[in-house]
Amino acid sequence: MNKKVAYGLAFAALLIAPYIVYPIFLMKLLCFVLFACAFNLLIGFTGLLSFGHAAFFGGAGYITGWALKVAGVPMELGLLLGTAAGAGIGLIMGSLAIRRQGIYFTMITLALAQMLYFVFLQATFTGGEDGLQGVPRGKLLGLISLKSDMVLYYVVLAIVIAGFALIVRTIQSPFGQVLKAIKENEPRAISLGYDVDRYKLLAFVLSAGLAGLAGSTKTLVLGFETLTDVHWSMSGLVVLMTLVGGLGTIIGPVVGAVIIIALENKLGDFGNLLADLTSVEWFRTIGDSVTIVTGLIFIVCVLAFRRGIVGEIAARFEIFKKAR
């Protein structure tokens, strides 16, 4: 199928989705889709495994929440401030982390992100363990109220599509080709005269800014921000989404985010349905074991689908085309 046709069908499905599925769940899902795609830009196309992306996601959410609730800024400015905060944190962390490679780079990002977690835990404006509650949605362009979930859904959809389009354009640009070259053979990229550290830092900041946009949008949707979004487990969750969907593919993180978030939110309902159909009450406890289920999915993907779901499908399709 032509890519433009596929994107068109997906867009049409997203337009009618809130009439079928709960809009709040869809908006949360879209935020995590953008988060996973932003992370994939760094690991899938630059080869940098960051374990600190929760700092950008949650940090931007706190800044946006504070700006909307306390400072009373317009919705658009609140999102921009959160995105800029994510990019700024990424600039500081990236400047320190890119001096190292491999596991050392990963551990530095994890350490810096955990330092930021404790800052947010102690800071007064974050609400500590209670989180930042009661964040208002405000109005779009000062005119259209965003209290309606349906109206907000289409605003969030436009934000996520814009972010996704930016990621695709970046990957297909000359800048993106240099990032792929760095991932595949960094010494060769250096020998060709590219300032590898500069490209890595730019990719890191761009990924952080987009992750910040996802976190800011999530705070706007849910109306609160908590320490969960800045904890290291959130960084692990986005790694899981990317690996399950397909590392280094454009659609893979989208698929991975849909699977993981759907499991987290709907596994309990599925268990209740099985219990009602089979009269086996044990199925009702499945919702409490979501981490075990996601862990099993991760193990299966590592053992049987090393390229992720989308990566494996694409590889099998290529084999089929060559066989024909």
Characterize 232-264 residue by residue with b for buried, 16 or more Cβ atoms within 10 angstroms of its Cβ, and e for exposed. bebbebbbbbbbbbbbbbbbbbbbbbbbbbebb
Residue 292 has pLDDT above 90, yes or no: no
Tokens of 188: 């060769």
106-115, 153-162, 281-290, 315-324: least confident range: 281-290
pLDDT band at residue 281 using 50, 70 and 90 as cut-offs = low
Write the DSSP assignment of 147-160 as a string of letters: -SHHHHHHHHHHHH
Distance (Å) of CA 149 to CA 27, 154, 281? 9, 9, 35
Asked if residues 283 and 271 have their Cβ atoms less than 8 Å apart, the reply is: yes
- pLDDT at residue 89 in the model: 93
255-282 average pLDDT score: 69
95-115 average pLDDT score: 88
Calculate the average pLDDT of the chain.
Answer: 84
- pLDDT at residue 268 in the model: 58
Secondary structure class of 140 (helix, strand, coil): strand
Residue 110, H or E segment: helix 102-122
Residue 198, H or E segment: helix 196-222
Residue 81 has pLDDT above 90, yes or no: yes
188-192, 196-200, 260-264: least confident range: 260-264
pLDDT band at residue 90 using 50, 70 and 90 as cut-offs = very high
How far is the C-alpha of 139 from the C-alpha of 137, rounded, in Å? 7
DSSP 8-state assignment for residue 279: -
pLDDT above 70 coverage of the chain, percent: 91
- pLDDT at residue 71 in the model: 84
Please, what is the Cα angle at 249 between 15 and 97, to 5 degrees? 110
Tokens of 248: 């280094």
265-292 average pLDDT score: 60
Q: What is the pLDDT of residues 191-248, one digit of tens each?
A: 888 888 899 999 999 999 999 999 999 999 988 888 888 988 888 889 888 888 888 8
Tokens of 267: 């596994």
Secondary structure class of 250 (helix, strand, coil): coil
**pTM listed for this prediction:** 0.89
Closest among 20, 11, 57, 25 to 258, alpha carbons compared: 25
pLDDT band at residue 318 using 50, 70 and 90 as cut-offs = confident
Asked if residues 61 and 116 have their Cβ atoms less than 8 Å apart, the reply is: no
The single-letter code of the amino acid at 106 is T
98-120 average pLDDT score: 88
Residue 144, H or E segment: strand 144-145
Query: Any bridge partners for residue 225, and if so which?
Result: 132
- Count Cβ atoms below 10 Å from residue 172 Cβ, excluding itself: 11
Q: What is the pLDDT of residues 129-163, one digit of tens each?
A: 888 888 888 888 878 888 888 889 999 999 999 99
- pLDDT at residue 40 in the model: 92
- pLDDT at residue 37 in the model: 93
68-82, 98-112, 142-156, 266-280: least confident range: 266-280
How far is the C-alpha of 188 from the C-alpha of 191, rounded, in Å? 5
Residue 322 has pLDDT above 80, yes or no: no
Secondary structure class of 224 (helix, strand, coil): coil
Burial label for 324, CB within 10 Å (0-12, 13-18, 19+), is exposed
Q: What is the pLDDT of residues 24-64, one digit of tens each?
A: 989 999 999 999 999 999 988 888 888 889 999 999 999 99
Check the CA dihedral 80-117-122-127 and report its sign: positive
- pLDDT at residue 285 in the model: 61
Q: How many CA atoms lie less than 13 Å away from 67 in the CB half-sphere?
A: 23
- pLDDT at residue 271 in the model: 56
Asked if residues 255 and 310 have their Cβ atoms less than 8 Å apart, the reply is: yes
Tokens of 196: 């590898």
237-263 average pLDDT score: 86
Residue 275 has pLDDT above 60, yes or no: no
Residue 288 has pLDDT above 70, yes or no: no
